[in-house]
Structures are given as structure tokens and as C-alpha cells.
A and B are shown apart, each in its own frame.
Chain A
Amino acid sequence: MLPTLPPQPAPDAPRAEEQGFDRRDLLRGAGAAGASATIAGFWFEGFGNPLRRRRLAPTPAGAPRITFDALEWTVLEAALERLLPSGPGSPGARDIHAIGYLDRVLAEPELAPERFRDVVKAGVPVLEGRARERGAAGFGALPGEAQDEVLHGLEQTPQGTLWLKRMLYFAIEALLGDPVHGCQPGLEGWRWLGNEPPAPRPTQPGWKPTGR
């Protein structure tokens, strides 16, 4: 049995059912005295008008990198795998192509503001530096438990925590987003957690309604 959570400001500081558990609601942080600063501003401020968005094609496994260089890819892929480890009976970051999804999403300024890309990339030298302090050639060369220790070390600072949250957010999108966006190609996340969404689902790669 899991322990009862202590009363605390909700991560999704609550909002009305009427007109939505909207994006702000769901990505909302606990605000000052609960008067709720938007986490939309924190996470997703400045997303573009959908009308002007370019289409996002799916990321097949083995597709060329767009956002990351080889080192960034390797380090972030390893970090994502610790955030969402693969295991028997449950998919992990590798199974759902989380690194490919992240690489793809961060290349789209309309889907993730440019500074997100900078923040995500800024984590790479930090992880590499801490790995070297431990005598490893790099983060990717550390054993899993040591990688976890490095990542937990990030929780000691607000910037480190923010980096972890952003990485985690995109990992979760890759786990539970529609495969049309280039993640969980075999519906691994939905099948694991039993929450495949109902119809109608998007059928074209990157399809976004623009309306009349």
C-alpha cells in the first residue's frame, strides 16, 4: 500500500471542470499561496499559432539527428533511459524512441520554444562533468546506479530540478503521446498503462487542424 500523501499544493493546482482541464491547468505549478502562477508560462509560454506551424513528420528509428550532435544524443538518451527505464513488461525510453521524439520536438520552435532546446542541451556538459568527476569517460560510460546518483544530484538546485522536469515532461509525452507524432511506435506506453485514447485519432503524420 502506498502511503497517504501529505496535504500539499497540487502539482495541477486545481481548475474548474467547466471549460476544461486545460493545458494550463494540467501543466500548472503550485503558485504563491495557491494563487497559482501558471506553469504554462513556465513550460510552454510562447507556443506559436497553430495556423503557422509546420508539419511534424514521425521519427522513424534510425532517422538522422536534427537538434542534437552525437555526444548530446548519447548523453541525453542515457539520461532519458534512467528517467524511464526499460524493463520486462514495461516500456522504457528506448522502447518508445524518447530521444528521437525529443530531438524532433526541439527542432520545432512552434512546438517547443527555442530556449527549451538551449536548456535541454545545457544539461549535457553538466552531466558529462559530473561523470568525469567520478572518473568515467562520460555520462554514458557510467553504470546505471551511478547515472542515477548524478541525476539525483541535479535535484539539489532549482535549475537542475527544472532541467529534470523538462526532460521528464518530454519523456512522458513520448510515452503517452499519439504515435503520429513520432513516439511509441508500437503503442508501447498506451498498452502498458491501458489508456489508448478513443477515436477519432489523428491519421496523418503531424496532422494539426487549422480550421477555416
Chain B
Amino acid sequence: MSSAYDVCVIGSGAGGGPVAAALAEAGYRVVVLEKGPWFERKDFLKDEIVQVQRDMYTPDTRRDPHVVERRNLRGEVSVDERSQDGWNGSCVGGASNLMTGFFLRLKPVDFRQRSELGAIEGAEVVDWPITYEELEPYYDRVEKEVGVSGRVVAHKNLEPRSSPDFPLKPLRVHPLARELDAACGALGLTSVPVARAVLSAARGGREECAYTGLCGSYGCPTGAKGSSLEAFLPRAVATGRCDVLARTTARRLVSDATGKVVGVDALGPDDKPLRVEASIFVLAATAVESARLLLLSTGPRHPLGLGNGSGLVGRHLMSTTFGAAWGDFPYAEYGARWPWLAGEEPWINRCVQDYYLVDDERLGRRKGGTINFLFMHPNPISSAFNVALERGTPLWGWPLKRRLEYWFRESKHLRLELFCEFLPVAASRVLLDPSVKDAWGSPVARMAWSFHPRNHETATYLLERGQKILERLGARHITRPPYGGESSNLLAGTCRFGDDPQRSVLNRDCRAHEVENLYVTDGSFMPTAGSVPFTFTIYANALRVADRIIAALGGPKSAR
């Protein structure tokens, strides 16, 4: 293996792709190690059985599981020793292949929660070491470089922007979006067009969105989705200075007597061992696997794991606090008034951020979240099975067939989803499992989820408000489960960044406090989770860190 690499990036998803592109374009030699296979557009078929219902994008949990431990609000613990949770998107481009490109920025308050909203007992809420203003130029770059479609609408929680609007016009939406705008307006709320990392017009070899609705959980066959696979890795590869090694799993980072990382021991295709050497190492393997790799990578100067002198590696595992509700618009009732209702336009693309900050008599002033509106996912097998189980006892026979006809042929189903603050607690963590090992003999990651009770309280408050919007719009048969738990396909925390080496793993540049040539650029760095999906922020931060790495290496080579 060539040792001529300047930078070795572990993981090719949202945290790895931007770094690889920026470094390679700045003239540096980059190698990207990706555990999963390298799929292409032609592989991304609309085949629900293979693409969604089986494990095309997850490792074999018999050989390579996560252990998931959950503690519910009553303190009861459940453990799954062969879970796929936290593995989603094990392929080149990572889970960004499977997103729906829901690209909302964090807001200034998210960087200053402790200062602006105060301490919360039982949670380790901190300010970020950087401000929104420091990240803003990188959000702006992502919008332009990835191609984000949308339309800026003024509302009370709109974050400051350096560009007045998005580079691409919004995606076409179903006419129900207009009615939703009106319903929100009548309630004194602002219905905000959702920005998407999905192309509304062809651009740079990527086609525009095909509007099939089969977006989340599927790879994109047109390249419209701004995945790392489409938006960043081709730029890196095109320089001729970036090698992407698919089916290559980093097993351990090797550090020397000075504490510096000197190489990565990996297993390539067919488990062939290899060592990759580079000047700088960038870990971007997800908040779960990055923490696991650090904990596995003990060394002479790192007895508790690489960069883990603080003991905080793996701590503060976060997701987004989730919640959902949905309701129907039966054609029999609405067809005459809304003749367009049965139309197949898949996007609604609206969210409400009026409750991003909650100021309530009972709850006080606190972080709330985002209410997103979308149609129920059109996957027929999943939808039909959910219909069969919607009352608990399975529905079958003619009652099931009648219910399926209603679900698929006689009604539209509008859903709302919450992205609500998930408070950081030290007990929520990734650790090396004491007993379960992978097929190669290393302890697997144990995701031990713990939830601050406030998550639930705030999410319930937002769900109640969301339900009022559905009611105002006229939705029938509204279903509102009491609590959605976490959304474990969104992962953050585990290597929080900060200025104090005793209280954080990474410094403000996302470099490990204790390791001069190791950076972490996936969602691990986030010390608080914010109330929007993480991918956009991971992209933006990865570009920011790439600039710091380029500076550490002496600046862009072409400029020297």
C-alpha cells in the first residue's frame, strides 16, 4: 500500500466525502477507506424487497452486529445483541445515499444553548466552541456545491443567511401544500418550504429529481439526491489524487510513543489485511463506529483509547427526539372540493419552525424543534404491513383487503414528523460491549441509549401543536402515538468538541485534543443535537474542518 497519502479518511459518507473532495482539490493525496461496497446509480432499483426489506445497506448482523441497550422512561432495560441499528448505509457514500435530503440549518441558538437557555439538571448542555456565524459560510457553500433546492421565507426563527436564496428553485409540490400553507397561516404559523439536497434541475452530470416518492431508504438512480456519492466523492476522484477503497474496514488506528497516529490497520476485500499510512487521519465512520474505533485503538500514550484521556469518548450519544402523527384525506369526502387530491406529486416539502423555541407557561423557555410535513412513504409492502398491524392484533382476510383498498385507493395520508431537541446525557453512550465480539474478534459497539425526561415532554408539546395543524387542515382519523423515542438513523455526540480538554474530546477544529494528527468529522463532534436532521450540518462542518486541515498542511498546494 502506498504510504504517499497526505490524508486518510475513514468513512465515505457525510463526514468523509466533503473532506476528501476539499483535500484532493487542494492538491493533497487522499485515501478513503469504506467498509461497504461501491454501488452506482444503476444499482439503485425501485425494488422494495431487496432495497428496503432486506439488508442491502447493512452488514450481516450475525458477524457484525451492534448491541443496543435501551432504558425506557420507567427505567426498564431491554437489550438487542444482534441489532442493525446504527449501521444504516454501509456503502460508498454512506447513509447520505438513503436520506431524503431534508436540509435545514441549525440556528444561532443551537450554538449557545447553555448561555441562552441555561443549565438543565441531569443534562450536560454546553455551548459550542464555534458560533453560527463561523459555520454559516460553510452552510452556504454546501447549498451551492451540493445543489440545494428551496425558497427562503421569512419567519420568526429564520436564521441569518449570507445568500438571499437557494441556488435551485424549489421542487414541485403536491397542491395540498398550498392548503397546508393556508391552514398554518390561519393558526398564525408560518409554513416554511423545506430545503432539499435534491436537484430541481439537472446539473453537472446529475439529473433532476424523478419525483417517484421512493426517496428515503433508496439510493437515487438519477443522481438528483445530493449524497456524498454524487456530490463530493466524484470531485475527489476526478482530481486523480483520491483513492476510494471500498469493502475496506478500518480495524484499528495505530499510534506511536509520542501519541501520534502512524497508520490504520484495515481489512480489505476477502479480509486481506493492509496498513494504510498517512500524515493526517480523519475519522468519519458514524458517531457509533468512530467512537468504537477510538476505544479499540489503545496505544502507548492512549491507554483508555485514542484521544480518550478525558474518558468522554463514546459519551453523550444523541439522536433527534422523534414523534409523528398522521391523518387521512378520503377522496370520497374531499374529491369534489380538491379534485387534485389524488395527484401523484410526491413532495409536500413544508415544515413549521415556530416552535423551534418554546415559551410556555408550563414548560418555560426551552428548545423545541421542527415539525415536518410529508406524505406517508409510498413503499407498498411496508405500508400494507403497517396497515395490517395498525390495531395491534393483525388484521387479515376481507377486513384487511378492504382496509388496503381504503389506504391505497381511496385516501391520501399526510404525516407530520418531529425533529425535537435530544438533550445530551453522559449515560447515553457508545462503549465496547463486554461480551459480544464481531467475527474478527473485536468487541462490538454497544449503543446504550438513555433519555432525559425533558425530551419526551417537549416532543409531546410539539406533537399537540402539530395535531392542531392537521385538524385545521381537515385531516380525518388522526393517529398520534404518544412518543416516538429516538430516531436512531440520526446519530451524533460521542466525541463532543469544545475548548476544555477535560470536558471534550475534540478541539474547535475537530482535532482530538490529545492527538495532533487525528480529526473526527461525522456527527460525533456535536455537543448538542439541535432540532433539524444532522446531515447538512455534518457536510458544512466537514468542509470547515477540511479548511483547517488544509491550513495545518500548509495551505492549498496550487497556491504555494
* Chain A residues packing against B (C-beta within 8 Å): 1-5, 7-27, 29-38, 40-41, 44-52, 82-85, 87, 90, 111, 148, 151, 155, 161, 164-165, 168-169, 172-173, 175-178, 180-181, 189-190, 193-195, 197-202, 207-212
- Residue of A49, A169, A189 touching B385 (CB-CB under 8 A): A169
Least CB distance from B213 to A in Å reads 8
Per-residue interface assignment for chain B, residues 483 to 494, with 1 indicating a CB less than 8 Å from any chain A CB and 0 otherwise: 111111110000
- Sampled A-B contacts (8; CB under 8 Å): A10-B386, A18-B102, A19-B95, A19-B490, A34-B484, A83-B396, A90-B401, A209-B39
Nearest residue, chain A, Cβ from B478: A4
Least CB distance from A106 to B in Å reads 14
Is B119 among interface residues, defined by CB-CB distance under 8 A?
Answer: no
Is B200 among interface residues, defined by CB-CB distance under 8 A?
Answer: no
* Docked CA distance A129–B405 (Å): 34
Mark out the residues of chain B between 360 and 381 whose CB falls within 8 Å of any chain A CB in the assembled complex.
372, 374, 377-381
For chain B, the count of residues having a C-beta within 8 Å of the partner chain is 110
Interface of B is mostly: loop
- Residue of A23, A38, A169, A199 touching B68 (CB-CB under 8 A): A38
Is B37 among interface residues, defined by CB-CB distance under 8 A?
Answer: yes
Least CB distance from A152 to B in Å reads 9
Q: Which 10 A-B pairs have the closest CB atoms?
A: A211-B37, A14-B324, A209-B43, A26-B382, A33-B72, A18-B533, A11-B389, A16-B487, A34-B483, A212-B38
- Residue of B46, B392, B476 touching A199 (CB-CB under 8 A): B46
Which of B57-65, B276-284, B541-549 is the contact stretch?
Answer: B57-65
The number of residue pairs between A and B whose CB atoms lie closer than 8 Å in the complex comes to 321
Is B287 among interface residues, defined by CB-CB distance under 8 A?
Answer: no
* Docked CA distance A34–B72 (Å): 8
Q: Is the CB of A33 within 8 A of B80?
A: no
Chain A residues, Cβ within 8 Å of B488: 15
Q: Is the CB of A50 within 8 A of B481?
A: no
Chain A residues, Cβ within 8 Å of B533: 16-19
Q: Is the CB of A13 within 8 A of B45?
A: no
Chain B residues, Cβ within 8 Å of A211: 36-40, 43, 91-92, 246
Chain B residues, Cβ within 8 Å of A51: 37
Nearest residue, chain A, Cβ from B385: A172
Mark out the residues of chain B between 19 and 69 whose CB falls within 8 Å of any chain A CB in the assembled complex.
36-40, 42-50, 52-56, 59-63, 68
* Docked CA distance A12–B84 (Å): 16
Per-residue interface assignment for chain B, residues 459 to 485, with 1 indicating a CB less than 8 Å from any chain A CB and 0 otherwise: 000000000000000001111111111
Chain B residues, Cβ within 8 Å of A30: 392, 481
- Residue of A47, A164, A181, A199 touching B60 (CB-CB under 8 A): A47
Chain A residues, Cβ within 8 Å of B85: 24, 38
Q: Is the CB of B324 within 8 A of A23?
A: no
* Docked CA distance A45–B54 (Å): 10
Is B329 among interface residues, defined by CB-CB distance under 8 A?
Answer: no
Chain B residues, Cβ within 8 Å of A175: 384
Q: Is the CB of A31 within 8 A of B485?
A: yes
Known: A52-B60, A211-B36. 5 other contacts (CB 8 A): A16-B320, A19-B98, A19-B533, A20-B216, A193-B405
Chain A residues, Cβ within 8 Å of B50: 50, 202, 208-209
Q: Is the CB of A34 within 8 A of B374?
A: no
Least CB distance from B538 to A in Å reads 11
- Given known contacts A35-B73, A51-B37, A193 and B52 CB-to-CB distance under 8 angstroms: no
Chain B residues, Cβ within 8 Å of A84: 396-397, 400-401
Per-residue interface assignment for chain B, residues 418 to 434, with 1 indicating a CB less than 8 Å from any chain A CB and 0 otherwise: 01000000000000000
* Chain B residues packing against A (C-beta within 8 Å): 36-40, 42-50, 52-56, 59-63, 68, 70-74, 76, 78, 80, 82-85, 88-89, 91-92, 95-96, 98-100, 102, 210, 212, 214, 216-217, 221, 246, 320, 322-324, 330, 372, 374, 377-382, 384-386, 388-394, 396-398, 400-401, 403-406, 408-409, 417, 419, 449, 451, 476-490, 533-535
Nearest residue, chain A, Cβ from B535: A18
Interface of A is mostly: loop
* Docked CA distance A17–B392 (Å): 23
Q: Is the CB of A82 within 8 A of B485?
A: no
Q: Is the CB of B210 within 8 A of A9?
A: no
Chain A residues, Cβ within 8 Å of B489: 15-16, 18-20, 22, 25
Q: Is the CB of B397 within 8 A of A212?
A: no
Chain A residues, Cβ within 8 Å of B408: 193-195
Q: Is the CB of B52 within 8 A of A22?
A: yes
Q: Is the CB of B479 within 8 A of A5?
A: yes
Nearest residue, chain A, Cβ from B372: A17
* Docked CA distance A165–B45 (Å): 27
* Docked CA distance A16–B98 (Å): 12
* Docked CA distance A69–B328 (Å): 44
* Docked CA distance A56–B279 (Å): 46
Nearest residue, chain A, Cβ from B68: A38
Chain A residues, Cβ within 8 Å of B386: 10-12, 26
Q: Is the CB of A34 within 8 A of B482?
A: yes
* Docked CA distance A18–B99 (Å): 5
Most chain A beta carbons < 10 A, residue from B43, B91, B99, B384: B384
Chain A residues, Cβ within 8 Å of B323: 14
Q: Is the CB of A17 within 8 A of B477?
A: no
Chain A residues, Cβ within 8 Å of B479: 5, 7-8, 10
* Docked CA distance A45–B43 (Å): 24
Chain B residues, Cβ within 8 Å of A180: 47
Chain B residues, Cβ within 8 Å of A8: 391-392, 479, 481
- Residue of A2, A13, A176, A178 touching B484 (CB-CB under 8 A): A13
